[in-house]
Amino acid sequence: MKALGYEKAHPLDAFALELIDVPEPRPRETDLLVEIRAVGINPGETAIRRTRSAEPGGRLILGWEFSGVVVEAGPAVTGFAAGDRVMGTGEVTRDGAWAERLAVDHRVVAKIPDRLSFVDAASLPIGGLTAWEALFRDQDGLPPGVDRVLVLGSAGGVGSMATQLLKAKTPAFVIGTASRPESREWSTTMGADLVVDHSGDVVAQLNDAGVGPVDLVLSTAGTIGSLGWIAEALRPFGHVSAIDLDGPVDTAPLMRKSLSLHAEVVFSRMDGQATVLAELARDAAEGRIRPITTTILKGLTVDSMRQAHELLETGRTIGKVVLSFQID
C-alpha cells in the first residue's frame, strides 16, 4: 500500500516525506483495519517531523487523527464490523494514518453517523479528546466551583473544541483569546462570550470587561512563559490545564495562589476514549457542536502534506487543516 513516510527528522525547508510502498498493516486481536478517507493534520505532528528520526534502516509514518471505513475487525473486537464508518486517533507508538490503511486499537475508535462527512469527522478527534480531558478529566463536567473559563488560543484546534464543549455542556462563561480580527471572529463563532487579545495585557482586559479573576485557564500554547500572568488571572485555588508542558516549569506563581496544574496529553490512556469520541460524533451530527474544518487539501500526496505543514508552521491557522484522500 501507499504511505507518506520519512527516515530522518528534518525542517520544513528540507521537507523529506516521500510517497512510499509499505506492507499492508497486520492487525492485532484488538485492532480494526481501517481504510483511511481523511486525516486531520496537527501542530504536534509537524513537531515530531522536525525532531524525531526513525531507527536506523526504518521509516516513520505519522498521522493520529483520521476517519475511514472498517475493512476488518480482529477476533477480540466487539461493536464493530466491516463497512462501519469510523473516526479515531491511533497510537503514537505505531504507524499512523498517513497511509491508505491503518491498523488501530478499537478502544480509540468510534463510529460516525452517515450524515457526518469523513472530512468533518477527521477534524474532531484530537482537538475534541484533548479539550474534553483537559476540562472535564474523569468527571461529568467542570471541577466544582468553576464558572468562568479562559481558553488561551481559542481559534486553534483544541481551543475551538474546548469553547464549543464548554458552551454545549456547561453553563460556564467562556473567555477566548485571539490577536487577529479573523481569529477573534472565529472564536466568537465557536461560542466565546468574550474574546480578549493575548498579545496585550490579558488581566487588564479581563478587569476592564468586569470579569475579574477566572476559575480555570486552559492553555494551548506558550504556557511555560505565560504562567506568571496566568496565575494573576486566576482566583485562589483555581485551575490550570495545559497541553504543552514540554520543559522545566516554574511553579512559584502557582504556589502563591494554591493553584492546581493539570498536564494533558491525549495519548496517555485508551480506556474511555471511544465513549468520548462517540459523543463528539453524535454532537457534531446533531448540531450541538460544529466540525472545525477550515482548510481541505486533496490527496495522499507529498505536495498536499507539505502544504499542510507549511500552513501549520505559520502558527496562524484557524480551526483544522484536513487532508481528504477522496479526490472529486
Average pLDDT over residues 116-131: 97
* pLDDT at position 139 over 80: no
C-alpha cell at 304: 498536499
Please write the tens of the pLDDT for every residue from 290-310.
999 999 999 999 999 999 999
pLDDT digits (tens, 9 = 90+) for 207-238: 999 998 999 999 999 999 999 999 999 999 99
* Angle at CA of residue 272, ends 270 and 274, nearest 5°: 85
- Rounded Cα distance, 69 and 102, in Å: 10
Per-residue pLDDT at 328: 46
For residues 129-156, average pLDDT = 93
Identify the CA nearest to 151 among candidates 208, 213, 195: 195
Distance, in Å, from the CA atom of 56 to the CA atom of 58, rounded to the nearest integer, reads 5
Cα 308 to Cα 41: distance, rounded to the nearest angstrom: 7
pLDDT at 270: 85
pLDDT value at residue 327: 56
The residue to which cell 504511505 is assigned: 3
> What pLDDT shows up at residue 137?
83
pLDDT tens for each residue of 5-48: 999 999 999 999 999 999 999 999 999 999 999 999 999 999 99
User: Contact at 8 Å (CB) between 126 and 89?
Assistant: yes
The grid coordinates of residue 19 equal: 510517497
Find the helix or strand (DSSP H, E) in which 194 lies: strand 194-196
Evaluate the CA torsion angle 90, 91, 94, 97 in order and state its sign.
Answer: positive
Taking alpha carbons only, the member of 230, 217, 244 closest to residue 146 is 217
List the one residue out of 16, 14, 7, 25 whose CA is nearest residue 99: 25
**Integer Cα distance of 143 and 232 in angstroms:** 20
